[in-house]
Amino acid sequence: MGQNFQHDAIQTVLTAAIDDLSGLDARDLKPHKKAGFRVHARTGQPCPACGTTIAEVSFAESSLQYCPACQTGGKTLADRRLSRLLK
């Protein structure tokens, strides 16, 4: 992908987000934003793109969700909290 394509894609997404969120109260932004995420807060549910179960990995005080098939080429990421217990 060229830089122009990436720039255009970023601009398109940000412009759509601005148009979509304009006029919302600050308290309404977070739920609206989360609704557009494909895997955020959907651990254990099927990925909307491929159907693979959404996985979660934890780091200290936070965690993230991801699709192993779409985002990591089928690789399961190590959970830092669980890894410490297995040593």
- Please indicate whether residue 2 or residue 29 has the higher confidence score (pLDDT): 29
Q: Kindly state the average pLDDT of the residues 27-50.
A: 85
Q: What helix, strand, coil percent values describe the chain, rounded to 5?
A: 45, 15, 40
Which residue bears the tokens 């060229």? 2
Beta bridge partners of 61: none
Q: Which of 1-10, 32-41, 55-64 has the highest mean pLDDT?
A: 55-64
* Tokens describing residue 76: 């399961």
Check whether 87 has a pLDDT greater than 80.
Answer: no
**34 touches 41 (CB < 8 A):** yes
Q: What is the pLDDT of residue 11?
A: 93
Residue-wise pLDDT tens digits, 4-37:
878 898 999 889 888 888 888 888 887 777 777 8
- Token pair of 41 as six digits: 């807060």
Return the CATH fold of 37-86.
Helicase, Ruva Protein; domain 3 (1.10.8)
Q: Is 46 helix (H, G, I), strand (E, B) or coil?
A: strand
Paired tokens of 71? 């985002």
Task: Report domain extents, the chain.
Answer: 37-86
